[in-house]
Amino acid sequence: MRTIKLGESGLNVPAVAVGCMRINGLDAAGAERFVQTAIDEGAVFFDHADIYGGGTCEEIFAKAVHMTPSVREKLFLQSKCGIRPGVAFDFSREHILNSVDGSLKRLNTDYLDVLLLHRPDLLVEPEEVAEAFDTLQQSGKVRHFGVSNQHPMLIQLLKKYVKQPFVANQLQLSITNATMLSQTLHVNMLDDAALSRDGNVLDYCRLNNITIQPWSPFQYGFFEGVFLGSEKYPELNAKIDELAEKYGVSNTTIAMAWLLRHPANMQPVTGTMNIQRLKDCVKAAEIRITREEWYAIYLAAGNDLP
Ligand X SMILES: NC(=O)c1ccc[n+]([C@@H]2O[C@H](COP(=O)([O-])OP(=O)(O)OC[C@H]3O[C@@H](n4cnc5c(N)ncnc54)[C@H](OP(=O)(O)O)[C@@H]3O)[C@@H](O)[C@H]2O)c1
Contacts with ligand X by CB under 6 A lie at 19-22, 47, 118, 148-149, 170, 215-219, 226, 228-229, 252, 269-274, 277
88's enclosing H/E stretch is strand 88-89
Residue 43 or residue 186: which is nearer to ligand X going by CB? 43
Residue 177 or residue 182: which is nearer to ligand X going by CB? 177
Question: Under 8 Å CB-to-CB from 242, ≥6 apart: which residues?
Answer: none
Beta carbons within 10 angstroms of residue 201's beta carbon? 23
CB of 219 vs ligand X, minimal distance in Å: 4
Cite the active site residues: 52
Residue 14 or residue 271: which is nearer to ligand X going by CB? 271
Beta carbons within 10 angstroms of residue 57's beta carbon? 25
Beta-ladder partners of 146 = 116
| Distance, C-alpha 55 to centroid of its chain | 18
CB of 138 vs ligand X, minimal distance in Å: 26
Residue 116 or residue 186: which is nearer to ligand X going by CB? 116
CB of 194 vs ligand X, minimal distance in Å: 25
CB of 33 vs ligand X, minimal distance in Å: 13
Nearest to 214 by CA among 229, 230, 201: 201
3-state secondary structure of 51: coil
Phi first, then psi, for residue 217 (nearest 5°) are: -70, -10
Question: How many residues in total does the chain contain?
Answer: 306
